[in-house]
Amino acid sequence: MTGETFVATVWLGAKLSVFAVLLAVTLPLIGDVSRWSLVLAVAAVAFVSSWIQTGRLQRGEGPMRFAHVRR
């Protein structure tokens, strides 16, 4: 892992951790929220954040497609 990739990975992890803490504290104040709602919200933000951080949105790339292995 290069230094730049390592810094980007740590930065993304820190941002996601802060978001998860804020969400975990804020959502119960709004009402009765299940733990799965919290997990899904953090997962969705993590997915979008990783695409933004890696520049995939600016390059217009879609998901990587893999050819199925035929046996």
Q: 54 lies in a domain?
A: yes
* DSSP-assigned letter for residue 60: T
- Is the pTM above the cut of 0.75? no
Q: 68 lies in a domain?
A: no
For residues 24 and 46, what is the distance between their CA atoms, to the nearest angstrom? 15
Number of domains in the chain: 1
Nearest to 5 by CA among 55, 44, 47: 55
Q: 66 lies in a domain?
A: no
Q: Domain residues for 52? A: 3-59
Residues in the chain: 71
pLDDT in tens, 12-70: 888 888 888 888 888 788 888 888 888 888 888 888 877 777 766 566 655 556 566 56
Q: 70 lies in a domain?
A: no
Q: Are 42 and 16 in contact (CB under 8 A)?
A: yes
